[in-house]
Amino acid sequence: MNLDLTAEQKLIQDTAREFAAAELAPIAADLDRGENNEAFFSNLKKLAELGFMGLNIHDQYGGAEAGAVAFSVAVTEIARACASTAVTVSVNNMVNEVIQALGTEEQKKRYIPMICSGDSLAGAFGLTETGAGSDPAGMTTTAVLDGDQWVLNGSKIFITSAPYAGVFVVWAVTDQKAPKGKGISLFLVEAGTKGLTIGKREAKMGQHASSTNEILFEDCRIPKSALMGKINDGFRVAVAELGGGRIGIGSLGLGVGLAAMDFATRYSLERVQFGRKISEFQAIQWKIADIYTALEAARLLLMNAAFRKEQGRSFAKEASMAKVFATETANQACYQAMQILGGYGYTQDFPIERYARDARITTIYEGTSEIQRLIISREILRELS
């Protein structure tokens, strides 16, 4: 068993790390304060030019064809510097993967290259609704066929990158008489389509540079050809594709956790109390040992899930295991890093409080920790029954 990255994967990791250090880290605090949004958009464009928006996408559509492992390590390195940028990269990759997996050749050629190239800064998912979060099968947004057009009505919430997305992958009910979860279909809706409105931007605890908005559909007419995949098969697609997104968010959590502990550990080598560097105290050493061990375990879980995905094997259980462990470990890493810094960790003079706010959402979006545990237990019980 070889756990080393390939030469290509290592190159992508190094490139992501160098870009993050040079371009993302210097402005991360500004972005957190709501400043310098133009630099945020500029960096998304640069990352697209470097190939980071289509890491698991075929070359013919402008992708890098680097695979799921490369995607995971890249998101981790980007998140070590800026979680807002990392979540945008993760979502863009997953939008492209869904279109690649289910789109017609015309849809693939139209939408994937514009996100991979940075001509469109982002793609967005329209899945979550007010009454359909952890239970997406309960969505109420509808799509009704009227001649050669679909008419969408309803709303979605918590949509990452909504104001600057060029295309939305949208789930809607197409058979209201079907059993719950059986009459849902998947559509591509271009930004600027009449009847599509970008609603309020959420005032969030963290990841401030990444815009999260409501979107509304009011008699929004899209071509009949905007249907992606099979009619009434959208819920199965949502469940399947969320697995890849969980690898992305788990990798993001790992990056934030590593950033927090790296900063705190370096601080412990400089901070003096009772006439000694605090790194010499066992209480600090054990925090360092325990959290870095957990972060390494998270990395291995993520690599396993990503490798299985690359090999075309089932990976839903493994992705959920990686996501729940990596994101909960990230939150613990930020908590312990703040303990190491003491009062300074609670101030905005140091980045730990930002890391803690950025990490908190990772146990919620792309499926809460509770949902991950349901998936894991369901798969284990199915295997043993």
User: What per-residue confidence (pLDDT) applies to 239?
Assistant: 77
* Active-site residue flag, 366: yes
Does residue 238 carry a pLDDT above 80?
A: no
How far is residue 353 from each of residues 22, 25, 233, 284, 290, measured CA to CA in Å? 22, 15, 43, 19, 20
CB-CB contact of 253 with 318 (8 Å): no
pLDDT in tens, 339-364: 999 999 999 999 999 999 999 999 99
Q: Which contacts of 345-353 are long-range, i.e. CB under 8 A and separated by 24 or more positions?
A: 345/264, 350/263, 350/267, 351/28, 351/29, 351/259, 351/260, 351/263, 352/260, 352/263, 352/264
CB-CB contact of 161 with 88 (8 Å): yes
Q: Please, what is the average pLDDT of the chain? A: 96
Mean pLDDT in residue range 209-220: 98
d(CA 306, CA 303): 5
pLDDT in tens, 15-74: 999 999 999 999 999 999 999 999 999 999 999 999 999 999 999 999 999 999 999 999
pLDDT in tens, 189-205: 999 999 999 999 999 99
CB neighbours (10 Å) of residue 80? 26
pLDDT in tens, 139-179: 999 999 999 999 999 999 999 999 999 999 999 999 999 99
pLDDT in tens, 273-324: 999 999 999 999 999 999 999 999 999 999 999 999 999 999 999 999 999 9
Least confident interval from 1-10, 215-224, 300-309? 1-10
CA angle 364, 366, 368 (to 5 degrees): 35
Whole-model pTM above 0.85? yes
Does residue 129 carry a pLDDT above 90?
A: yes
User: What per-residue confidence (pLDDT) applies to 234?
Assistant: 87
User: What per-residue confidence (pLDDT) applies to 3?
Assistant: 87
**Residue from 366, 370, 379, 383 carrying the catalytic annotation:** 366
Domains and CATH numbers, the chain: 7-122 (1.10.540.10), 125-234 (2.40.110.10), 236-384 (1.20.140.10)
How far is residue 340 from each of residues 81, 141, 269, 284, 343, measured CA to CA in Å? 20, 47, 11, 7, 9
